[in-house]
Amino acid sequence: MTTTTEGLGRFVAIWVGQLVSLAGTAVTGFVLGVWVYQLTGSATQFSLIMLVEAIAAISVAPLAGAVADRVDRRWTLVASDVVAAAVTAVLLTLVTAGGLQVWQVYPISAVAAMCATFRMVTFTTMLPLLVPEQHLSRANGLAQAGMAVQISAPLAAGVLLATVGLRGVVLIDLFTYGVALAITVSLALPERAVRPQPREHAERDGAMAELRGGWTELRRRSGLGTLLLVLGAFDFAFGLAGVLVQPLILTFAGPSTLGVLMFAGGGGMLLGSAVMSVWGGPKRRITGVSAFLAIGGVALALHSLAPSALLIGILAPAFLFTLPVITGCTMSLLQTKVDPSTLGRVMASVRMVSQGATAIAYAVAGPLADQVFEPMLAPGGALADSVGGVIGTGPGRGIALIFVITGAVLLVLAAAMASPRLRAVDGLPDLLHTKGESDVELAAG
């Protein structure tokens, strides 16, 4: 019991450090976006920040995975935070001197995104080696609280921007890196969690084989590649909803209501993370993924019923509540069913799919809404007399139809989880805890 508690305690300590750092980065990122938009009035330059971050994160993910499988993971976390802190210090200097320019935001954001990718790939690689298997789904659910922090960032950022200004926000971000570094350096961690596993025939691996290692391992484990595609499809739906819910709300409410509803959505995800951390999910994780995909699909589709702040205030948290369960169950399967020596590269592949799907959603959401669905559901539009008779016509109703379609896609994914190939994933051998130490030894370090 003591060793299990110690293992969970170490995970929670690392998680707190990363969560604090992520919160600071999320608030700074949002405030910088607002600063760029206020200065330029360009939605393109505003959205370009997110695109640059996504491209930077995806491009560096294979290298981050290879590093996590070869280099001491504690010092990878330290190096990631040190580089990110140095970039933040440069930003602070520019802001303080009054010399910050729009073009400088993009390389700063790119480097910060790269550091975050190294940090998250390394953290998700360490996670199953810190936590006993029976608590892994709980830990993965709790880890999703970071996403809740990012969703809630606009409300906190608005308050901070009004009270301490851009310079104060950047100072707080710099302080959060110090907190994360202090925890990472001082914490006693099990040797197996920080030291990569020895690999057979590693000397024969070329550079490209190293970078492709995660995909190779996933193809070798029946059903895991398909499961990752399901997760990618869910992330695409999540990305569409995340981008479009804001303009949907702004068609019938003001910015202050938007901030409150975004905060409520983040609260729903945080609650889901807390529930998952206590419950741990169902014994058959595929069942959990399927059930909560269905719940999330229904919640998304019901966003279309009416232009109502109360409706969104109920349904957005309900949808976001499902994310920690879906991601927690999926990540636990992906972490335990692969060879431990390839875990870092597998986690990098997972991050590439997840961020790639989200980036695609960001890229297509605006054109789909503005050029396709909104005109269809404008008064006199192509669907005004059919679909419009159900969900209404006018501003925001085309976006509402996208929510209906996206919800239907999640219901199809939920039904697809019943396929024999995916049902069999739960029964794959647990390689993480059968190669080397037992759960108790892992927790004890």
- As a whole number of angstroms, the distance between CA 406 and CA 437 comes to 43
The token duo for 443 is 């927790």
- Chain-centre distance of CA 186, in angstroms? 27
**Which of 33-42, 145-154, 246-255, 433-442 is predicted with the least confidence, judged by mean pLDDT?**
433-442
Give the residue from 267, 255, 275, 273 showing the smallest Cα distance to 313.
267
> Which residues does 419 contact at the CB level (< 8 Å), separation at least 6?
none
**Residue 169 · residue 308 · CB < 8 Å:** no
**Residue 277 · residue 142 · CB < 8 Å:** yes
> Which residues does 230 contact at the CB level (< 8 Å), separation at least 6?
289, 293, 330, 413, 416, 417, 422
Q: Which CATH architecture group holds 2-194+209-444?
A: Up-down Bundle (1.20)
Between the CA of residue 357 and those of 227, 266, 323, 325, what are the distances in Å? Answer: 14, 21, 15, 19
pLDDT in the model for residue 141: 82
The 3-state DSSP class for residue 168 equals helix
The token duo for 186 is 């001082």
Give the residue from 157, 111, 188 showing the smallest Cα distance to 263.
157
Between the CA of residue 180 and those of 84, 220, 251, what are the distances in Å? Answer: 11, 36, 40
Model pLDDT for residues 213-234, shown as the tens digit of each residue: 788 888 888 889 999 999 999 9
Give the residue from 402, 387, 404, 377 showing the smallest Cα distance to 302.
404
**Which of 51-55, 92-96, 401-405, 434-438 is predicted with the least confidence, judged by mean pLDDT?**
434-438
Model confidence at 384, in pLDDT bands (50, 70, 90)? very high
Model pLDDT for residues 250-264, shown as the tens digit of each residue: 889 887 787 788 878
Average pLDDT over residues 161-170: 86
- As a whole number of angstroms, the distance between CA 177 and CA 182 comes to 9
> Which tops the pLDDT comparison, 100 or 161?
100
Task: Say whether pTM exceeds 0.85.
Answer: no
Distance between first and last Cα of the chain? 14
- As a whole number of angstroms, the distance between CA 53 and CA 110 comes to 5
Model confidence at 274, in pLDDT bands (50, 70, 90)? confident
Residue with tokens 């809740």: 148
**Which of 155-159, 294-298, 422-426 is predicted with the least confidence, judged by mean pLDDT?**
155-159
Average pLDDT over residues 202-211: 52
The token duo for 73 is 């993971």
3-state secondary structure 270-290: HHHHHHHHHHCCCCCHHHHHH
- As a whole number of angstroms, the distance between CA 84 and CA 79 comes to 8
- As a whole number of angstroms, the distance between CA 364 and CA 240 comes to 8
> Domain limits of the chain?
2-194+209-444
> Which residues does 247 contact at the CB level (< 8 Å), separation at least 6?
369, 396, 399
